[in-house]
Amino acid sequence: MADAFAADAEGEARFRQRRRYLAWRRRLLPIVAVVALLYAWSESIELFDIKPFIAPSPQAVAAVLYDRFGILMANLLPTAIESILGFALGNLAAVVVATVFVWRKTVEEAMFPVAVMINSIPVVAKAPILVLLLGNGMEPKIAVAAIICFFPTLVNMTRGLRDVRPEQLELMRILSARQSEVFLRIRVPNALPYLFSALKIAASTAVIGAIVGEWIGSTQGIGALILQATFNFDSPLLYATIVVGSVFSALFFGVISLVERRMLRWHTAHKE
Amino acid sequence: MAETAVSCEGVSVRFTTERGTVTALDRIDLTIPRGSFLTLLGPSGCGKSTLLRVMADLIAPSGGRVAVFGGTPSSARLKREIGFVFQDPALLPWRTVLDNVTLPLEVGGGKALPGARTPQQLLELVGLNGWETAYPHELSGGMRQRVAIARALVSGPRLLLMDEPFGALDEITRDRLNEELLQVWSSTGTTIVFVTHSIYEAAFLGQQVLLLAARPGRVRELVPVTLPMPRHLGQRETPEFTALAGHLRRVLETC
């Protein structure tokens, strides 16, 4: 097969240059777009003479981000802990339940409609119930984040564990493989791409869950700071808080994507 | 019985569906000698894959008796005497070429029969040395099927069942793999049962061609192939081969 490739230094250099160009373009274009949007925002604040308590200028938000960095971080910490713990618990529970569903179809038939019903309760309605049940600490926020992660992962993981190619199962039968071997060597790896699709959704929704949880009776956290800033008409602080929350959410998503890329190197979707 | 690999006595398979009961195989009688190469040829729906799956213990017959090396198909499967190659290579995409080949050594007790070749030797046999660490998606269709053949041989099976393994490949690749398969057969001494719907493939590969008729699936004719071994693709242009292919075609038209 190696002889199929001839040495062509000039062609290879052109190929590499083109790929470098495409890589830089992919990185730079979003930055250009963001800068343009910030500029348009800043100009329209001046142009339409919008009052700071209605909407701040990007400069004012940047100033708050810099001046009150300590307060912002102190409030990010509980939100981060809640969303990460909720993410871990919710997804772990979903994976366990999906395993049980695939192991015993009867359990799925009985419990799946219940899961759908719980999932159909809006998050803002679940939060007060959980505050009543779990008190005023971090627990109800973790629970909201966990519940919000649970459903997409349950659905995806169940599908991933079940949607195995029939030939692969026949192969395992010819090899006289035990059920546990079929599960660990076929079903689990087959489910990983499905699981990571769900985890990437969950990384963002877990943060939303924690913030919504904090709206119901909390004195600290990104959610609490958002409410406080809104009631004080402190729009620069409100925007800065949202920026901090979004950046954390994006980082969370990025970490999951990185783990996915490392673990699913075999997956065809990751072919160059 | 010592020289018999597979024997079928009155094997029937019936499937019940919403539309009623279908007889896929109707009282098949067949004896496959040890070390031979038998091809199963027939129109679609004649039950040739079903017959192969009965031998592999993937389907239980509704009637009749199947013996593989004198025992039941399931005991042969448990002893790792059966290798199976599907039309789809059925490789595990998360495993490298080498890890796919070694899968049979990791599951179900992981036994290999005495005399089995090492995964490395088998990769060499199918012409894939140097590709050990590649993933299936990096391989062409023909290479994937070669990996599947190496995997089926890794436990040193005495019976290799192949279900249209080259059906999805282009003609040039298929021809090359046909020749290679004959080399694998002569160097391993494995009994091979090969399902195909290609007249040329059936005639070129088999020592005997079993023609099956459809609805219900039954034995139509067992045609001996007298072409000398070892075979090469040039033999397909001999009058002998043309006459054989013509005969198979005429019988198939009445199936």
- CA torsion angle for A188, A193, A198, A204 (degrees, to 10)? 130
What is the residue range of A136's domain?
Answer: 61-270
Q: What is the mean pLDDT of residues B55-83?
A: 93
Q: Residue A2: exposed, middle, or buried by beta-carbon count in 10 A (0-12, 13-18, 19+)?
A: exposed
Per DSSP bridges, beta strands B82-85 and B37-41 are unpaired
State yes or no: pLDDT of A44 exceeds 50: yes
For residue B229, count CB atoms less than 10 angstroms from its CB and return exposed for 0-12, middle for 13-18, buried for 19 or more: exposed
Q: Could you tell me the residue range of the domain that residue B180 belongs to?
A: 4-81+158-253
Residue B94 touches partner A, C-beta closer than 8 Å: yes
Distance (Å) from the alpha carbon of A228 to chain B's nearest alpha carbon: 50
Verify whether the Cβ–Cβ distance B135 to A181 is below 8 Å: no
CA-to-CA dists, residue B228 to B182, B236, B245, angstroms: 12, 12, 15
Whether the predicted pLDDT of A159 surpasses 80: yes
Residues from chain B that touch A193, judged by Cβ atoms under 8 A, are none
Contact across the interface for B107 and A181, Cβ inside 8 Å? yes
- Residue B125 has a pLDDT of 85
pLDDT value, residue A266: 82
The pLDDT score that the predictor gives to residue A3 is: 55
In what order do the strands lie in the sheet containing B63-68? B20-33, B4-17, B63-68
- Residues of chain B contacting residue A272, judged by C-beta atoms under 8 Å apart: none
Of all residues in chain A, the percent with pLDDT exceeding 70 is 96
The answer to whether residues B187 and B222 belong to one domain is yes
What is the phi/psi pair of residue B193, to 5°? -115, 125
B92 touches chain A (CB under 8 A): yes
Asked whether residue B109 carries a pLDDT value surpassing 90, the answer given is: no
Find the radius of gyration of the CA atoms of chain B.
Answer: 18
Same domain, B165 and B233: yes
Q: What is the tens place of the pLDDT at every residue in B204-251?
A: 999 999 999 988 888 988 999 988 888 888 888 899 999 999 999 999
Do B165 and B75 fall into the same domain?
yes
B240 lies in the same domain as B136: no
B250 CA to chain A: closest CA distance, Å? 33
Whether residues B96 and B130 fall in one domain: yes
Distance from CA of A267 to the nearest CA of B (A): 7
What pLDDT is recorded for position A4?
61
At B21, is the secondary structure helix, strand, or coil? strand
How far away is chain B from the Cα of A177, in angstroms, using its nearest Cα?
A: 4
Backbone angles phi, psi at B213, to 5 degrees: -105, 155
**Residue A144 sits in the same domain as residue A208:** yes
Query: CB contacts < 8 Å between A and B, how many?
Result: 64
Q: Report the domain count for chain B.
A: 2
For A187-220, the pLDDT digits (tens) are 999 999 999 999 999 999 999 999 999 998 788 9
Determine the average pLDDT of the residues in B20-47. 91
Chain mean pLDDT for chain B: 91
pLDDT at A268: 58
Of chain B, the percentage scoring pLDDT greater than 90 comes to 65
Give A155→chain B minimum CA distance, Å.
Answer: 22
Tell me the CA distances in angstroms from A13 to A10, A16, A20, one per residue in order.
5, 5, 10
Mean of the per-residue pLDDT values for chain A? 91
d(CA A81, CA A78): 5
Confidence (pLDDT) at A98: 96
- Token look-up 């031979």 returns B36
Q: B75: pLDDT confidence band, cut at 50, 70 and 90?
A: very high
Cis peptide bond N-terminal to B216, omega within 30: yes
Across the interface, do B93 and A268 touch by the CB < 8 Å criterion?
yes
Assess whether B76 and B170 both reside in one domain: yes
Residue A222 lies in a domain: yes
Q: How many domains does chain A have?
A: 2
Residues A244 and A143 in one domain: yes
Same domain, B166 and B248: yes
* Closest CB to A173 among B58, B88, B103: B58
Same domain, B117 and B153: yes
Decide if A80 is inside a domain.
Answer: yes
Domain termination residue (choose one: B140, B157, B174) = B157
* φ, ψ (nearest 5 deg) of residue B195: -90, 135
Question: A233-264, pLDDT tens digit by residue?
Answer: 999 999 999 999 999 999 999 999 999 998 88
B12 and B62 belong to one structural domain:
yes
Mutation site for A-interface testing, chosen from B87, B92, B105 by largest number of A Cβ within 10 Å? B92
**pLDDT number for residue B116:** 85
Phi/psi of residue B13, nearest 5 degrees: -135, 125
The predicted model gives A45-49 an average pLDDT of 91
Band (pLDDT 50/70/90 cuts) for residue B1 is: very low
**Confidence at A161, pLDDT banded by 50, 70, 90:** very high
Asked if B123 and B40 sit in the same domain, the reply is no
* Tokens read off for B61: 């017959």
Residue A233 maps to which CATH number?
1.10.3720.10
Confidence of residue A271 (pLDDT cuts 50, 70, 90): very low
CA distance B82 to A227: 69
Identify whether residues B72 and B184 lie together within a single domain: yes
Average pLDDT on A81-109 reads 95
Q: Do A185 and B103 touch (CB under 8 A)?
A: yes
Determine the Cα–Cα distance for residues A227 and B176; give it in Å rounded to an integer: 72
Same domain? For B147 and B178 the reply is no
State the Cα–Cα distance between residues A160 and A170, nearest whole angstrom.
18
Query: In the numeric block, which tokens belong to residue B211?
Result: 């023609």
Distance CA(B10)–CA(B165), nearest Å, equals 27
In a domain, residue B86? The reply is: no
> What local confidence, expressed as pLDDT, does residue A272 receive?
40
